[in-house]
Amino acid sequence: METYDISLEGMLFSFLLLLIPLVISYYLGLKLTSSTLESAVRMVLQLVFVGIFLTFVFDLNNAFINITWVFVMVIVASHTVLKNAELKTRNLLPVLVLFMALTNYSMLLYFNRFILDLNNLIDARYFIPIAGMVLGNSLKANVIGMENFCNEIQRNENRYLFRLSMGAEKTEALVPYLRKSMRVALKPTIANMATIGIVFLPGMMTGQILAGASPIVAIEYQIAIMLAIYVTTMVNVFLGVLVLIHRGFDDYGMFKKELLRNP
């Protein structure tokens, strides 16, 4: 089986679809016209760039380049998480990058070694797309986790102060907030896992089937990647909140509001 290439005409037809959201936005006064266009343009530029870049990276298949590229992905992901969680990057970014790099590299090596049983653990064809799947899918949960933690500690500050006045250490007083943030952040991933295949056909599986793989192989990959995503998401959310617990409070144990973009 071979995948049909999409012709230029076909690509134009796909852009034609954009008219629908633009018309709806115009008539309902959603004011989404410029952001829709901007996002679409960004998507095209980024994907064209990545397409060229990945062709080059796959041809070279150099371990150093592959590892470096994944590191760049980790930096961008960490930055996106902080930005979307309305946090300033200055104090938090380096340590978040370090943690996320650690979990993601470990997961990738484990995946390639024990699940796929590859000879070359850093083979670009596996290393980079799987890194993208794992990182991309854990990103949203990380935003929810860190944002929820910051919101709760401010909204329910009194409960935290109460625990401190009852003699709790900072970490003891913050455990309930950690639990809550992790539960909220992981819920969508858990719901995803439970409905996969019925409610939606995941992108990876669809891609493999379109590329000519048998549905059975596609399913094997999908199960393995879902589990990898869930584990990485949980560890990433945990580490993200841990970064906040360690960096987000002053010597008195008070939350540093100056870390927020809009204090």
- For residue 191, state whether it binds another protein (rule: CB under 8 A): no
Tell me the H-state helices in 111-214. 124-155, 157-165, 170-195, 203-210
- For residue 165, state whether it binds another protein (rule: CB under 8 A): yes
* Interacting residues of 61 by C-beta distance below 8 A, sequence separation 6+: 120, 123, 124, 125
Q: What is the DSSP letter of 115?
A: I
Tokens of 192: 């995803």
Q: Which residue lies nearer to another protein by CB, 27 or 252?
A: 252
Tokens of 247: 């960096």
Q: How far is the CB of 145 from another protein (least distance, A)?
A: 19
| Single residue of 53, 58, 110, 162 touching another protein by CB under 8 A | 162
* Region binding another protein by CB under 8 A among candidate stretches 3-11, 129-137, 161-169, 189-197: 161-169
- For residue 262, state whether it binds another protein (rule: CB under 8 A): no
First-to-last alpha carbon distance for the chain, in angstroms, is 56
Q: How far is the CB of 233 from another protein (least distance, A)?
A: 25
Q: Which residue lies nearer to another protein by CB, 38 or 169?
A: 169
Q: How many CB atoms lie within 10 A of CB 126?
A: 17
Q: Which residue lies nearer to another protein by CB, 168 or 184?
A: 168
Residue at 100: amino acid letter: M
| Single residue of 44, 76, 109, 161 touching another protein by CB under 8 A | 161
Per-residue contact flags (x/-) with another protein for residues 168 to 187, judged by CB under 8 A: xx--x---x-----------
Within 13 A of 59's CA, how many CA atoms are on the CB side?
6
**Rounded alpha-carbon distances, angstroms, from residue 68 to 58, 120, 193:** 14, 16, 30
Q: Which residue lies nearer to another protein by CB, 16 or 166?
A: 166
Asked whether the beta carbons of 194 and 211 are under 8 A apart, the reply is no
- For residue 251, state whether it binds another protein (rule: CB under 8 A): yes
- For residue 242, state whether it binds another protein (rule: CB under 8 A): no
| Single residue of 136, 188, 207, 253 touching another protein by CB under 8 A | 253
Q: What is the binding site for another protein (CB under 8 A)?
A: 156, 158-159, 161-169, 172, 176, 250-254
